[in-house]
Structure 1
């Protein structure tokens, strides 16, 4: 690895650390992250034909640092997606986050879960609410009080962001063309 790459990696690590500290300061304890075009730099359309290892190569460096740092600060992370390929996503998480994958719930359109609450069901709201119910039901996971004001959605789809904000859940739009801008936007949260 070149000196330039090392310096860039160190800078990204510091910026991710600052963003996680901001989340801690804001008492965010649940980070819901979209998969396609957000966690990874491609849109699989829920039909990824390549290998899991090939998909792992599309993981964004930003999230390879942000997710472990958030987890180390007791911020629970979940993947919320409209993809049906949740088993493939699980494999990507296991390869990308071997120390954390087992505590990262995935909510996709795979008919493996059901939201039983009465909240909004549009956008990613029911996905996040379902994970919240799971986290609260498992106090051993370290989070006992997940609310809309302690949750942050990160998504590349402006519609999901609008619906989240309309429902009272914090959200930050992820620009796939400028991934690291996310860190600046997190620092601007109030």
Structure 2
């Protein structure tokens, strides 16, 4: 399949103000393009993608402080995509699954936040990856990070959960990943997904470029 160029970068100014009608129109248009392209799963990284900082994998300064770093454009994208029937997932190396859930509940309507799948680098998740890769379950294996193929192990876990919950099978070309890490973007593209690298200053206007590249 034809994938979005993984080296395509976005660099627009961000802001925390309530989005204008024009800004919301950009989100709506991009989500409409996702639907037109047949996308069923919007997978979004957390650090430096949904939020504008890197949390370090473990955050101990409180949910409220972290929620202040959520990018309004990403918040509105996740809400709109969910409202339009897309599955939305957070796929992240961050370890605190519960914290991300609480952050989403702070910035989104709870009915939307509760629908978003979250796959973080929890202990259970990492141990499952060790087990599936044939690693021994000893102290050495537990201390080593398994090969996650970028965000592919996270996406696979989300796909399994979606199938269990809804009986829906999602094909590789029906998935798009938004991630600040170019390596993760390249790996996603090599697996047949659409993928965009998100730059630090991504904002509503960036969705125009997303849409143009998606529909090429």
Instruction: Tell me, yes or no, if structure 1 residue 88 matches structure 2 residue 99.
Output: yes
Larger radius of gyration: 2
Alignment TM-score, normalising by the size of structure 1: 0.87
Shift of the 182–135 alpha-carbon distance from structure 1 to 2, 3 Å rule, reads farther
Give the TM-score, by structure 2 length. Answer: 0.77
Deviation at 1:121, TM superposition (A): 3.7
Alpha-carbon offset, residue 145 of structure 1? 2.5
Match of 2:121 among 109, 115, 121: 109
- Contact 1:172–1:185 under 8 Å retained in 2: no
Question: Which blocks of at least 5 consecutive residues in structure 2 are unaligned?
Answer: 1-16, 134-146
Tell which deviates more after alignment, 49-58 or 171-180: 171-180
Q: Tell me how far 1:178 sits from its aligned partner.
A: 3.2
Gaps of at least 5 residues in structure 1 are none
Residue aligned with 2:176, SS? strand
Higher RCO (C-alpha under 8 Å, 6+ residues apart): 2
1:26-45 superposed matches below 5 A: 26-45=37-56
Is the Cα contact below 8 Å between 1:41 and 1:59 reproduced in 2?
yes
- Counterpart of 2:24? 13
Say if 2:87 is the partner of 1:76. Answer: yes
Match of 2:151 in 1: 124
2:147 corresponds to 1:135: no
Measured after TM superposition, the shift of residue 94 of structure 1 is 1.3
Which stretch of the first structure deviates more once superposed, 97-106 or 107-116? Answer: 107-116
2:197 equivalent among 169, 173, 179: 173
